[in-house]
Amino acid sequence: MTEYEVIIGLETHIQLNTTTKIFCACKADSWEDEPNTNICPVCTGLPGVLPVLNEAAVEKGALLAAAMHSEIRLTSFFDRKNYFYPDLPKGYQISQFDLALGKGGYLDLPMPDGSVRRVNIEKMHLEEDAGKTKYEHGVRYVDFNRCGVPLVEMVTGPDLRSADEAAQYLIRLRQLLRWIGISEANMEKGHLRCDANVSIRTVGSTVLNTKTEIKNVNSIEAVRAAILKEVERQIEVVESGGRVEAWTLDWDDAKGKLTKMRSKETEADYRYFREPDLLPLELTEAWREGVIASLPELPLARRARFRREFDLPEYDADILTSDRPISDYYEAAVSAYGGDPKVVSNWIMNEVLRMQNDLGVSADELVLKPQDLAEAIRLVEAGMINNATAKSLLVKVQESGKSPVRIVEEEGLAQVSDDSALQAAIDKILAANPDEVASYRGGKEGLFGWFMGQVMRETRGKADPKASRELLQKALRGEG
């Protein structure tokens, strides 16, 4: 049986989170607006209007270029990409073609086997978004709200080799976009859109065969599923003696099905020419250096540093650099705690992340600050409270805004470690449960956990676990 290699390149459209659109003053994020209410003569292409470039879009696009190891060109141009479609009112899209803002670049993907897959960037340019069409009850409606929303389009080289690698690229790209603060990167809301170019070849071949383009995928899982389906289809075509044709394919996520939309366009079909209503985009060297200097430590670099400096397992480092707020939170908590970084990692992954998910907030929106977490951990280690009390204490801090120490003092949460108080509680429990005591002494040692639970209940969770265990073992043996 012939073995095939999959060749994948991804085209991503990234909506920049500017306040206004790229060439006019209309609001950029119109996801929840009524159709055709967030428009003006400029973004709807009425005769005689002139576009004015949004500087914030250039800054965010340049920041992404820097993060992707791309050269930020000091001189770039805008071009007209000509095509007719109902959601493109001007009959052309203002984009960038041969001299775009970014030149080259790459994104490194850590692979499960420890290797790194380098995905090269062939194109990175600014452009305006088109509108969108919607079918309802056999009628096609057009909404122009999205016209003029600022985008960065990035096109990778044919460097990905599986649907899983394509999904990993999107996961890491989404992480990066949110990390540097230039896009919400929510695929369900169209902030990050992806088209996949897919082809196959026999293993060992270096030829790039005819590719198809998959459109209308609105989640990372959908991208993975659509690629798998298309690879399967192309292999069937080739194995049956057919030839793969350069089609643009539509993905129906509900049905898990690909259908042909149209033959795939080439760049020549768009008849690019310089945009006559916009001057060349001229940047200074000082401005470019300022953008590069503003770039934060990137997630993969921080992940490597966390492993190196804090001796964290790969799993912990991955989770704690999944987004920038939780990464900053962890580092601040480690600094405030001053002890083993792994201890802080455990508390964040088990308690803080759960709290985040329950509340639907990011780490930087929590009332529970890194210093509070560090203080609670120190209270446990000093023997003032136990783990169970500490977990409930974190919730109380989040709800009240009070410090852990203050809550422990006000609510009398300090751990009961006095032997006489613990012994009195244990004696009371054993006297109230003679049958269970007899069963334990008769060989049912599994009841010990039940007795410990009764001790915790009697002391309202404040019993010192170690001291309680020792005293309870003696009492059950009749040594008390």
Q: What is the pLDDT of residue 184?
A: 94
CA–CA distance, 41 with 47 (Å, rounded to integer): 8
Could you give the number of structural domains in the chain? 3
Contacts of 181 (CB under 8 A, 6+ apart): 17, 324
**For residue 456, what is the domain's CATH number?**
1.10.10.410
Examine the domain organization and report whether 191 and 330 are in the same domain: no
- Among 354, 378, 411, identify where a domain stops: 411
SS3 313: coil
Examine the domain organization and report whether 209 and 356 are in the same domain: no
Examine the domain organization and report whether 358 and 450 are in the same domain: no
Alpha carbon distances (Å) from 399 to 86, 173, 205, 414, 426:
51, 35, 62, 19, 33
Examine the domain organization and report whether 284 and 316 are in the same domain: no
Contacts of 393 (CB under 8 A, 6+ apart): 376, 379, 385, 404, 407, 408, 413
Examine the domain organization and report whether 15 and 43 are in the same domain: yes
Q: What is the pLDDT of residue 435?
A: 87
Examine the domain organization and report whether 400 and 425 are in the same domain: no
Angle at 76 between CA 73 and CA 82, to 5 degrees: 140
Examine the domain organization and report whether 394 and 351 are in the same domain: yes
- Among 271, 291, 311, identify where a domain stops: 291
Please say whether the beta carbons of 38 and 30 come within 8 A: yes
Q: What is the pLDDT of residue 1?
A: 56
Alpha carbon distances (Å) from 42 to 48, 147, 298:
9, 9, 37
Residue whose C-alpha is closest to residue 126's, from 55, 45, 186: 55
Q: Classify residue 127 by its DSSP letter.
A: E
Please say whether the beta carbons of 201 and 325 come within 8 A: no
Examine the domain organization and report whether 455 and 308 are in the same domain: no
Q: pTM value?
A: 0.84
CB atoms within 10 A of CB 48: 5
Examine the domain organization and report whether 34 and 171 are in the same domain: yes
Find the domain containing 69 and state its range: 4-291
Residue whose C-alpha is closest to residue 257's, from 220, 219, 217: 217
Examine the domain organization and report whether 91 and 142 are in the same domain: yes
Examine the domain organization and report whether 278 and 302 are in the same domain: no
DSSP 22-42: SSSSSBS--TTSPTT-S--TT
pLDDT tens for the chain, 480 residues: list them. Answer: 579 999 999 999 999 999 999 999 999 988 788 999 999 999 999 999 999 999 999 999 999 999 999 999 999 999 999 998 889 999 999 999 999 999 999 999 988 777 889 999 999 999 999 999 888 888 999 999 999 999 999 999 999 999 999 999 999 999 999 999 999 999 988 899 999 999 999 999 999 999 999 987 889 999 999 999 999 999 999 999 999 999 999 998 889 899 988 776 667 788 999 999 999 999 999 999 999 999 999 999 999 999 999 999 999 999 999 999 999 999 999 999 999 999 999 999 999 999 999 999 999 999 999 999 999 999 988 888 888 889 999 999 999 999 999 998 888 777 655 567 678 888 888 888 988 888 888 888 888 888 888 887 877 777 777 777 888 888 888 775
Give me the sign of the Cα torsion angle 253, 258, 259, 265. positive
Please say whether the beta carbons of 52 and 84 come within 8 A: no
Q: What is the pLDDT of residue 463?
A: 74
Examine the domain organization and report whether 169 and 66 are in the same domain: yes
- Among 364, 395, 411, identify where a domain stops: 411
CA–CA distance, 98 with 157 (Å, rounded to integer): 16
Query: Which residue reads 């005819």 in tokens?
Result: 210
